[in-house]
């Protein structure tokens, strides 16, 4: 019964195709085959509920101001391969929100607009192989939130910038084989990306010395890049800070560590430098005070009584011997002031003057 039913459905679809006059063949699963019919536009008489449409090997004319397919909201698979369409207008497929697979192989595409695939948030597979893409602006991937497989094989790609590689990092499967890659220093980001992806069979075309070699197997020297080798200390941010306080200059050690780990060492050094400077200042100040105190520390001169003729008694007895030594030194020099003549030595002169006066 089931085969008979299927045969009946197919017969009805074929009869419907003959009646409506379009050349596509339909099956019971909602698949429409319009391949190789020299079509310039998709047949408008196709059922709206079809899920798969093959328009390959036709002569489709891409619309500029409207979408390509207007009336197929349930379409999940679309094959447009081997149609000549060098450029794709923005939002060409914007009404195909349920689309999972889009085949644009062998279409001679030279460039892609950023909004070419706008509205294809559910697209899983995008086939762009065997086209003429040279400078690939991978920002066209931004609307493709669910893209899993991207096929860019056999285009005219010679290099890939870092921004494009970062965008393609979100796509699990990317095919880049068969492009004429130039393996110079500009290919270094691509080489690192391929190594990270463990991709194989992506080979160089030029220069001749590297032709046929896998890019992922090369290193920076093979690509002609002169990498600067830095020591571990140079890799960290080296900073030298000069602290000057009280005419004392100290130079810090280079800051080591990563990021913010160097600031504790910097703070510790600054605190140490300030502490040492303060200690030096205090030591210099104490030395100056000691010197000034020593300059004011002297012995008072001995005072001689005008009547008693002996040195005046002092409450402290530490300088009594020194005063006597000074007096002996003055006697030795022969210079004795009148104030130091004893009264007993003045008495004979007085008596002699009195005797002369009495005479």
Task: Give me the pLDDT at residue 267, please.
Answer: 85
Residue 229 Cα to chain centre, angstroms: 18
CB proximity list for 333: less than 8 A, separation 6 or greater: none
> Looking at the predicted structure, is the pLDDT value of residue 288 above 60?
yes
Residue ranges and CATH numbers for the domains of the chain are 23-180 (3.80.10.10), 181-227 (no CATH)
Task: Give me the pLDDT at residue 285, please.
Answer: 78
Rounded CA-CA distance 34/286 in Å is: 105
Task: Give me the pLDDT at residue 261, please.
Answer: 58
**pLDDT tier at 67, thresholds 50, 70, 90:** confident
Give the pTM. Answer: 0.59
Task: Give me the pLDDT at residue 138, please.
Answer: 87
Question: C-alpha angle with apex 183: 182 to 188, nearest 5 degrees?
Answer: 120
DSSP 185: G
Task: Give me the pLDDT at residue 353, please.
Answer: 56
Task: Give me the pLDDT at residue 317, please.
Answer: 45
> Looking at the predicted structure, is the pLDDT value of residue 50 above 90?
yes
Across the chain, mean pLDDT equals 75
Rounded CA-CA distance 116/211 in Å is: 34
What is the per-residue pLDDT across 122-164, written as a single tens digit (0 to 9) for each? 999 999 999 999 988 889 999 999 999 999 999 999 999 999 9
Percentage of residues in the chain with pLDDT exceeding 90? Answer: 40
Task: Give me the pLDDT at residue 352, please.
Answer: 56
Higher confidence at residue 66 or residue 62?
Answer: 62
Rounded CA-CA distance 142/157 in Å is: 20
Task: Give me the pLDDT at residue 41, please.
Answer: 87
Higher confidence at residue 43 or residue 334?
Answer: 43
CB proximity list for 60: less than 8 A, separation 6 or greater: 39, 40, 41, 42, 68, 80, 83, 85
CB 86 within 8 A of CB 109: yes
Query: Of the ranges 138-147, 257-266, 302-311, which one carries the lowest mean pLDDT score?
Result: 302-311
Task: Give me the pLDDT at residue 243, please.
Answer: 38
CB 205 within 8 A of CB 180: yes
> Looking at the predicted structure, is the pLDDT value of residue 351 above 50?
yes
What is the per-residue pLDDT across 202-229, written as a single tens digit (0 to 9) for each? 999 999 999 999 999 998 888 888 755 4
CB 25 within 8 A of CB 46: no
Question: What per-residue string of b and e applies to 264-284 under the rule 16 or more CB within 10 Å gives b?
Answer: eeeeebeeebeeebeeeeeee
Of 147, 162, 197, 207, nearest to 176 by C-alpha is 197
Can you tell me the mean pLDDT for 292-314? 52
Rounded CA-CA distance 246/284 in Å is: 11
Rg (CA), the chain: 54
Beta bridge partners of 54: 33, 79
Can you tell me the mean pLDDT for 259-278? 81
């Amino acid at each position: 019964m089931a085969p008979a039913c299927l045969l009946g459905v197919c017969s009805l679809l074929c009869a419907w195709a003959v009646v409506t006059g379009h050349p596509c063949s339909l099956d019971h699963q909602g698949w429409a085959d319009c391949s190789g019919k020299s079509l310039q536009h998709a047949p408008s008489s196709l059922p709206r509920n079809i899920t798969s449409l093959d328009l390959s090997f036709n002569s489709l004319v891409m619309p500029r101001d409207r979408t390509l397919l207007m009336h197929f909201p349930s379409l999940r698979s679309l094959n447009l391969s081997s149609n000549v369409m060098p450029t794709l207008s923005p939002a060409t497929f914007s009404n195909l929100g349920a689309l999972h697979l889009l085949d644009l192989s062998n279409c001679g595409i030279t460039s892609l607009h950023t909004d070419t695939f706008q509205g294809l948030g559910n697209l899983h597979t995008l086939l762009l192989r065997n086209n003429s893409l040279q400078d690939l602006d991978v920002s066209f991937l931004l609307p493709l939130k669910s893209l899993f497989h991207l096929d860019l094989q056999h285009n005219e790609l010679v290099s890939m910038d870092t921004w494009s590689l970062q965008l393609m990092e979100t796509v699990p499967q990317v095919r880049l084989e068969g492009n004429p890659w130039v393996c110079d220093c500009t290919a270094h980001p691509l080489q690192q990306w391929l190594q990270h992806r463990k991709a194989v069979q992506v080979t160089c075309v030029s220069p001749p010395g590297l032709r046929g070699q896998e890019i992922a197997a090369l290193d920076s020297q093979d690509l002609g890049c002169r990498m600067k080798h830095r020591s571990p200390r140079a890799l960290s941010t080296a900073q030298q800070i000069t602290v000057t306080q009280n005419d004392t200059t100290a130079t810090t050690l280079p800051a080591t560590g990563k990021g913010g780990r160097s600031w504790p060492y910097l703070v510790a050094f600054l605190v140490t430098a300030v502490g040492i400077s303060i200690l030096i200042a205090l030591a210099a100040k104490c030395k100056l005070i000691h010197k000034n105190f020593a300059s004011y520390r002297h012995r008072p001169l001995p005072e001689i009584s005008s009547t008693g003729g002996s040195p005046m008694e002092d409450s402290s007895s530490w300088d009594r011997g020194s005063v006597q030594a000074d007096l002996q030194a003055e006697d030795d020099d022969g210079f004795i002031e009148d104030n130091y003549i004893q009264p007993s030595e003045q008495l004979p002169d007085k008596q002699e003057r009195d005797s002369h006066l009495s005479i």
